[in-house]
Structure 1
Amino acid sequence: MARSTLRQLECFVAVAERGSIAAAAEALHVSESAIAGALNGLERALGTQLTIRRKAHGVTLTPSGSYVLAQARGLLHGAGDLELHAANAGAELRGSLMLGCYLTLAPTVLAGLIAAFAQRHPAVQLDFFDGPQREVQERLLAGRLDLAVAYDLSLPPGLGSRRLYDAVPAVVLAAGHPLASRAAIDLTELVDEPMVLLDVDPSRENTLAMFSAAGLQPRIRFRTTDYEVTRSLVGRGMGYSILVQRPAGDQSYEGRALAVRPIRPAVRPVPVAIVWPDAVRPSQAASAMLDVASGLYAPPAGPGPVRVPTPRLP
């Protein structure tokens, strides 16, 4: 039975990530012929072509190569994890962890999650990336993130998830808006009002789907891709918005008071989950983060405008 080596896999991943044999050789501090030989040996061992090599045009992956890349990253990650913990059996958890987070969730969940994990596992080197949901998903599938916190909405195949808590969309108004005196607000009362739409996926889709389900079409005045810009425009009375996350203080960056009211009738909550790539076996550090994240946040107590649940710190 033909077998590949970890070194061959390491060379293959380096070529795939850097786009050329020369760049991979420089990164691994070996000769270009050694990289080419490792690729040839890996292709012979697996019985398939993994790369297309064109002089002066770098290296591209075949469909088989793209599949093997995800598997190779997982194997290398697991091998490194095994070596690390075999050498430190019984010692405190060590290693590295790359955590992702959807950008509108990051201000309210990321710092607390990192703090709780660092308190339990201070020897783990933890870094993070926050960005658009689609880019977070792409990095997970490419093996560039170990885990990520994201909305559990329309996740692509290849990603597993574990629910952390449910967040409920709410209406955000300037405190002086006539509807701010209501205990709850019906979407029909908003349809003629100007809307400030948080125009990022999946927030945009979720907001518009709520109106569509009610047979309504919102009157969008402004679109923005920034959560705090949305709240600032609302604070200036330029429209209302529908937002899921709620900071601790109901004020815009400019210090203008906001009113956050539940939607009537109640709308479907949005699950917030920790997500991982199915193709990669979680490292011990990733498994530890799953445990920390699962135990950190209490579920919301009931319907209505939802703040991020208070963390239960160890």
Structure 2
Amino acid sequence: MKLSMRQVKYISEVARLGSILAAAEALNVSQSSIIAAINLAEGDMDARLFERRPSRGVTTTPAGDRFVSAAQGLLAAEAEFAKSISSLSGKNAAEIKIGCFEPFGSLFMPDLIRAYTNRVGTVDVALFEGDQTQLHRWLVSKTVDFVVAYDIGPSFNGNITPICRVPPHVMIACGDELEARDALSLSDIAERPLVLLDLPHTVTYLLALFDTVAICPRVGFRTRSYPTMSRAVAAGFGVSVLNMRPLLATEEDAGGVVRRPLIDDLPQPTLVVADAYGAQKPEYARFFIQVVREFFDAHGLPSAYETAYETPARAGIEPSQIMK
């Protein structure tokens, strides 16, 4: 069919108003333009779209009803397309779809998203929480606009923006004798059962930390859930090593656990934002990444561009000096 979207709109307006004259006045076009659109459509379909009734306007034929029904879907899609494209030129997209490393969902993502919406106004949000493998798949399939995750596991296709580094630390139960220490080393927990966050690529990274200091930990409890891991530590199943900590008061740390930094010189993953836009990001994407940077900077996490994180050992503090 050779009709333009404008001509489809002309015909739909005639059907809505029941009059070529009324449609011409509503659209501010000539009647001849509308009649030309109707003739072109009827020629392509080899069927009449309207029955002309002298002095009483027009009514749609069965073929006209089918045309108008299809046209409504087409025009609605055009309007949605125009809305989406228009939103790309500003800081506020109509909808934002974010994938995040699963533990981030309960640790800080609602607060991060609120920091964004406080700046841009109301936005429909879809949050997809998954492991590194799922996040990679969602970004490739365009299921999500952004991924907030660590730079471990398979490389994300698209553009990667480093945000901050996240040093590992230890989670122990309240009342544990180690709670009296300001900081710990992996050798301090070598004999303790390990409560392990058993997510793809995460488990490889966490166990590799012990390899760097020639320790083989005994895994006493495995779980894919961050809240469950926290509750298992609080219940006395062992200690846990992890990276991200709650940025605000959350349920995870309301259940009888405390955290202590590690003095060992250990690999630190970088928290990144991955997107599929590359260098030519729309304004809303650039602004979202800016908000993420500001959010973590405000919570004191070391920038990915700063010098190496200064653990007590790097600062020249001996292990004996970190006792309370």
- Inter-partner Cα distance in structure 2 for 1:303 and 1:193: 26
- The equivalent residue for 2:268 is 269
Question: SS at the partner of 2:292?
Answer: helix
Letter in 1 for 2:143: R
8 Å CA contact retained: 1:171, 1:242 = yes
Normalising by structure 1, what TM-score? 0.63
Matches for 1:102-121 after TM superposition, within 5 Å: 102-121=101-120
| Larger CA deviation: 270-279 vs 213-222 | 270-279
Specify the SS of the correspondent of 1:214: coil
After superposition, where does 1:161-310 map in structure 2 within 5 Å?
161-247=160-246, 248-249=248-249, 255-277=254-276, 282-298=281-297, 299-300=300-301, 303=310
Residue 115 of structure 1, CA deviation: 1.0
- Larger radius of gyration, structure 1 or 2? 2
Unaligned runs of 5+ in 1: 1-78, 306-314
Q: Which residue identity does 2:285 align to in structure 1?
A: A
Deviation at 1:226, TM superposition (A): 0.7
**Percent identity between the two aligned chains:** 22
Gaps of 5+ in 2: 1-77, 303-308, 313-324
Q: Which amino acid letter does the alignment assign opposite residue 205 of structure 1?
A: T
Query: 1:89-117 deviations in whole A, cap 9, x for unaligned?
Result: 99874433211111111222311221122
Q: Hey, what does 1:158 align to over in structure 2?
A: 157
For residues 267 and 118 of structure 1, do their structure 2 counterparts lie closer, same or farther at Cα, with a shift above 3 Å needed? same
8 Å CA contact 1:167, 1:245 repeated in 2: yes
The two structures, once aligned, show a CA RMSD in angstroms of 3.2
Q: CA deviation at 1:199?
A: 0.6
Measured after TM superposition, the shift of residue 251 of structure 1 is 7.1
- SS of the residue corresponding to residue 274 of structure 1 reads strand
Q: By how many angstroms is 1:256 displaced?
A: 4.0
Q: SS at 1:297's partner residue? A: helix
Would you say the 8 A contact 2:164–2:272 is kept in 1? yes
Following superposition, the deviation at residue 223 of structure 1 comes to 0.6
Give 1:285 deviation, angstroms: 2.9
CA distance in 1, matches of 2:160, 2:89: 29
Q: Which residue of 1 aligns with 2:65?
A: none
Equivalent pairs, count = 226
Q: Which amino acid aligns with 1:291?
A: Q
Distance 1:296 1:182, change over 3 A: closer
**Alpha carbons of structure 1 residues 88 and 138: separation in structure 2 relative to 1, 3 Å:** closer
TM-score (norm 2): 0.61
